[in-house]
Amino acid sequence: MMELKTEPVVINMGPQHPSTHGVFRMRVTFDGEVIVDMEPVFGYLHRGIEKLAEERTYTQVIPLTDRLDYVASMTNNHAYVLAVERLAGITVPERAEYLRVIMDEMMRISSHLLAVGFLLNDMGAFFTPLMYMFREREKLLDLFEMVCGQRLTYNYMRIGGLSHDIPPEFLPALNRFVQEMPHFIDEYDQLLAENEILLARTKGVGVLSRELAINASASGPVLRASGVSWDIRKADPYSVYDRFKFQVPIGTAGDIYDRYWVRIQEMRHSVRILEQAIKGLPSGEVMAKVPPLLRPPQGEAYAHIESPRGELGFYVVSDNSIAPYRLHIRAPTFINLTTLRDLVIGWKLADAVAVFGSIDIVLGEVDR
């Protein structure tokens, strides 16, 4: 038998690569098609938002938070204003809280649609699921545009409430969406849930064990797919989430399929929350009395919400000036990437892409 001289190949996947969802880079060592080592490289989209925030007033930081997780930017607004409200001791009018919940859940649906769509795209389904999901997402973006005038960077929430009340056309359109959406989710299930190729590609691949998930501070669908029932909407209810009935879908295996499944189920429950929130929406003001130049008392506050990607936390330190002394962002996907190496080692190139897609990162949030 002739001895073949072989050596592992190092491939830089990214920063320009179709499936890195932005400018992420994986330095991967391959033995044939099998991954033997992987090192994530961050920072290609680092804009120093935490530093920028230190020289802007509390209100001026809100547009910056839009640029974090640009697929679900309204949740970033929410987490940030929640932290500042906690710091300054501001109570938000009830109508504003309801509208925040409505926006958050719409955001969750639109973000999960994109996450699942791109996951399928990464696995080679030639754009079809993505296109079907974009159809629903566009409808949601229309509604966001109606409320705040933008489709992607909303800058809608304000410290103490919201910048605008919803226009009268909003609720009928949202109602229609809520009625239609379950049907479309069923269609996605029909297209994908039992597809043998999808099952073969995702079941048992990239398994994140329950223990490791908790130990590595994973959050959001990644954590719940591993079988941990931890949703901040339930565990530490913010806004008015304690008034709604909904379930937190839990996976069992912690593989790619469960992450996909959890996201699809979460959309169903988000629709349910939307239904209840529309029904219970009170009338009244949407903005509390807040001075235009807010000077919160000296101190610090940490507020976290369940963003579509996991626990999004803002840690704000105030020194009683008009700008935050320090703003730290606990970005869910950044921390979810901790275990990326463990998930892909030993799998094939194609699996690495799928695992990466199932974590559903947004580079704006990872690199800040």
Among 26-34, 99-107, 270-278, 282-290, which window interacts with other proteins (CB under 8 A)? 26-34
Size of the site for other proteins (CB under 8 A): 115
User: Tokens 């410290």 — which residue?
Assistant: 159
Distance CA 117, CA 191 (A): 12
Report the C-alpha dihedral over residues 255, 261, 264, 267, rounded to 10 degrees.
Answer: -80
Choose the stretch contacting other proteins; rule: CB under 8 A; options: 79-87, 88-96, 207-215, 259-267: 207-215
- Residues 61-80 touching other proteins, rule: CB under 8 A, are 61-64, 66
Mark 150-189 with x for binding to other proteins (rule: CB under 8 A) and - for no binding. Answer: x--x-x-------xx--x-x---x--xx--x--xx--x--
What x-and-dash track marks residues 276-295 binding other proteins by CB under 8 A? Answer: ----------------x---
* Region from 108-116, 139-147, 263-271, 272-280 binding other proteins, contact rule CB under 8 A: 139-147
Per the CB < 8 A criterion, the answer to whether 83 and 170 are in contact is no
Applying the rule CB under 8 A, the residues between 255 and 274 that interact with other proteins are: none
By CB under 8 A, the residues from 217 to 236 that bind other proteins are 217-218, 228, 230, 235-236
SS3 content of the chain, % helix, strand, coil (to 5): 50, 15, 40
Tokens (6 digits) for 165: 């009340």
Local structure of 106: helix, strand or coil:
helix
Q: Is 200 in the site for other proteins (CB under 8 A)?
A: yes
Dump the DSSP string for 219-278: -THHHHHTT----HHHHS--TTGGGS-------SS-SHHHHHHHHHHHHHHHHHHHHHHH
- Judged by CB under 8 A, the residue of 89, 204, 280, 297 near other proteins is 204
Choosing from 246, 249, 285, 346, the residue that interacts with other proteins (CB under 8 A) is: 346
Return d(Cα 359, Cα 24) in angstroms, integer. Answer: 13
